[in-house]
Structure 1
Amino acid sequence: MLRAAALSLMLLAAPALAQTREGFGPGPVLPDVGPIAPVDSELPLPKGAKFKIAFDVSAKATPGALSRQIETAGRTLNMHVAAGVPKENVQIVVVVHGPGAMDLLKPDVYAARNDGKANGSMDAIRKLIGAGVEFYLCGQTAMGQKITKADLLPGVKMSLSAITAHAVYQQRGYTLNPF
């Protein structure tokens, strides 16, 4: 019995361990989304720094795997808070379009469109939304891929288009993440 429990714990921990690269560890906001590395930065963060960052996501993750772009949004939140920026001063929006739309789907809808496979980004998206990160799906992509609002994970919103979402957030002072 004890042996089975130990094996179960190892299997549960394996995905988290597989995602952590050497030198990287859990962040302070989302310990299991977006591992971070300590850096002796020569670019000091200004006192009172505020970050408003928009991520453009168009790539679809491999079914069952976490989207690297979505993970980067978590890493961004974690590393800035770890560097002393108050969590409320790190505002992130993720704008998704094209094939990346698949990663925003509820489990049953995702599985139906991906040969029964699981959405590996779902848990990270849920945690990011819980931490205040906003997610918008391009409405034009949704129409083209026959995705309805009811198909989306809770908390994911629809925008007229990705172009519109980026323009609105740029007017709100957000910078576009270049990665």
Structure 2
Amino acid sequence: MKKALFLLLLLAATPSISQQLESGTVIPEYGKTYPIASPEFKTDTNAVLKVVFDVDRSFKALKPNALIETAARFLNMHEKAGVNSENMKVALVLHGQSVNDVLKNEYYTVKNPGVSQNPNLKLIEALSKNGVEIILCGQSATHHKVTREKASEHITFALSAMTALVQLQNDGYQLIKF
């Protein structure tokens, strides 16, 4: 039921076929977006946009996790709309199956036979270099045997996803859950 609703919402939000995805300037390799001419709901380009993405799933082992890439889309899209990068505070909280997406190549390939490298590592590095805080649930990490030694150096461990989500929301971050 959730997948059907998600697909229906995705189709309803899909721009016309003539529009092409465009790269952004914040993280050009990731997070392409569609240009939207003259939206009626105006983007407040002076606001500080504090957002936390709740990422709990993983998808195809050969491609970057689309939920992680959402942070790049957010940055690229809002920068194009005129929001100063200093006014965008972005965090990702990874838990559940998504904790495997932060594994260094040698550990990722063991969990994903036939895959030569973790496609998420370059994305995670690019996000981190652009100020995105990437937080890993310590509970999920421990359950899935993802240790600090096995994980990307661009992530931070938390006691739990619940802890990180509550604290970030207490600090004014708005939760986005797909």
Fold agreement, TM-score > 0.5: yes
Q: Partner residue of 2:79?
A: 81
Q: Partner residue of 2:15?
A: none
1:107 matches 2:112: no
C-alpha displacement at 1:133, in angstroms? Answer: 0.6
Q: Which runs of 4+ in 1 moved over 4 A?
A: none
Q: Partner residue of 2:25?
A: 28
2:88 to 84, 87, 90: 90
Q: Is the 8 A contact 1:48 1:85 kept in 2?
A: yes
Note the 1:113-132 alignment, pairs <5 A.
Answer: 113-117=111-115, 118-132=117-131
Q: Is the 8 A contact 2:100 2:146 kept in 1?
A: no
* Letter aligned with residue 148 of structure 1: T
> 2:110 & 2:93 partners in 1: Cα distance?
23
> 1:73 & 1:159 partners in 2: Cα distance?
19
> 1:178 & 1:99 partners in 2: Cα distance?
15
Aligned identity (percent) is 36
SS of the residue corresponding to residue 157 of structure 2 reads strand
Q: Partner residue of 2:176?
A: 177
**Comparing both structures, which one devotes a greater share of its residues to helix?**
1
Closer, same or farther: CA 42–104 of 1 in aligned 2, 3 Å: same
1:55 matches 2:61: no
Aligned residues between the structures: 159
> 1:43 & 1:127 partners in 2: Cα distance?
30
* Letter aligned with residue 155 of structure 1: H
Q: How far does the alpha carbon of each residue in 1:47-86 deviate from its partner, in whole angstroms, 9 at most, with x for none?
A: 5211011001111131111111011110001001110000
C-alpha displacement at 1:176, in angstroms? Answer: 0.5
Q: Is the 8 A contact 2:56 2:98 kept in 1?
A: yes
> 1:47 & 1:110 partners in 2: Cα distance?
39
Q: Is the 8 A contact 2:124 2:154 kept in 1?
A: no
Closer, same or farther: CA 47–78 of 1 in aligned 2, 3 Å: closer
* Letter aligned with residue 94 of structure 1: L
SS of the residue corresponding to residue 151 of structure 1 reads coil
SS of the residue corresponding to residue 54 of structure 1 reads strand
Q: Is the 8 A contact 2:100 2:144 kept in 1?
A: no
> 1:47 & 1:60 partners in 2: Cα distance?
32
**Structure 1 unpaired stretches of 5+:** 1-20
**Higher Rg of the two aligned structures:** 1
Q: How far does the alpha carbon of each residue in 1:69-107 deviate from its partner, in whole angstroms, 9 at most, with x for none?
A: 011110001001110000011111000001111111111
Q: Provide the TM-score with structure 1 as the length reference.
A: 0.85
* Letter aligned with residue 32 of structure 2: P
